[in-house]
Structure 1
């Protein structure tokens, strides 16, 4: 069998309906989180190709999430307090963007491995939107707080077994710069401008 016949099917072939502008905006909250080459930033499914097992392994390895109850509990924690409460002691404010990005990323992976239905995943994403819209007025502001939250999280890993786990801050900085670049036509932040979530939804 030819090697290309063994490749996993594209996510777009299983979920062919393009996202509306509001849906893309919600998915885009997790755009800073994954820099993997196979990450999808324009579908609810988190990868460009169907790989449910990868989503399941990632949730188990990175978050110790192995059940629906554990997933729901983690999402509840991120929506209520997350890492931002601890970050407040250092920054003087709570960087919601870091928790929001993780919340959406985990929701999408939970959908990918069947812990959440598609409808439940969209409901989860909708739940985080009001707090994000109240907190920020642009993708630039969101990106700035995401980076600050990530910085505090990385620093808190010093002296632990996970100290060498995260990618260097420079890698995250470069990824955010690319997402914010007006010339990057593939950036979901350019495809779904920040103000779009405050206007009526429409097909793209």
Structure 2
């Protein structure tokens, strides 16, 4: 799996992303790994491109300001780190679990932003997302368990930020909780988790 990152670092910078084609069930499932992170009306949850409206500059700014990622090499380094260990190593003792969901959600979100910023072409972005499938399906069996673990680790992370003063302080835990409830609501026909239930990644791929 990790040879992928070394090979990608040797490739040239991608061209800006093309118009978004319709996704297959597997592709929607992969994109949906980032759904817990993608709050707000500007977020797109059913396309590889992370925003409802094209904004490549915003993706690049977000990667630089939030993650210190100015280009392709730094992006691949960060993704490699998240998939190998991420934040779960220091959180194991605090949570009593192997909190993979947090790292996977961040990994998928950063991959999509890297695609929007032009650091990755579509094929590369899909390949990176597919690299997260095996460990994720080994750790979870439902979107509900994925969401539960994500929220648990987010709460521990937020507690570690208490006393921090910043305009970019993340949304309160209650906002994240409400967002996850919306994603898990079976009556929410717009939820990507309802459009691509957990088990579809284990079935043959098909057009939506």
- State TM-score, norm by structure 1: 0.90
**Do the aligned residues in 2 keep the contact of 1:154 with 1:163 (CA within 8 Å)?**
no
1:36 is aligned, of 34, 40, 43, to 40
2:57 is aligned, of 53, 65, 73, to 53
User: Is residue 2:149 matched to residue 1:145?
Assistant: yes
- Alignment RMSD, CA only? 1.4
Unaligned runs of 5+ in 1: 1-12
Partner of 1:8 in structure 2?
A: none
Partner of 2:171 in structure 1?
A: 167
CA offset at residue 159 of structure 1?
4.2
> Equivalent residue of 2:33, what SS?
helix
Partner of 2:205 in structure 1?
A: 201
> Equivalent residue of 1:185, what SS?
coil
Partner of 2:104 in structure 1?
A: 100
**Do the aligned residues in 2 keep the contact of 1:39 with 1:46 (CA within 8 Å)?**
yes
CA offset at residue 89 of structure 1?
1.5
CA offset at residue 158 of structure 1?
2.7
**Do the aligned residues in 2 keep the contact of 1:157 with 1:163 (CA within 8 Å)?**
no
1:65 is aligned, of 62, 69, 91, to 69
Unaligned runs of 5+ in 2: 1-17
CA distance in 2, matches of 1:21, 1:164: 34
CA distance in 1, matches of 2:59, 2:165: 23
Partner of 1:188 in structure 2?
A: 192
Q: Note closer, same or farther for the CA distance 1:162–1:83 as it changes in structure 2 (3 Å cut).
A: farther
CA distance in 1, matches of 2:94, 2:168: 22
Partner of 2:3 in structure 1?
A: none
User: Is residue 2:14 matched to residue 1:14?
Assistant: no
Deviations 1:63-94 (A, max 9, x none): 01101111001101110111111110101112
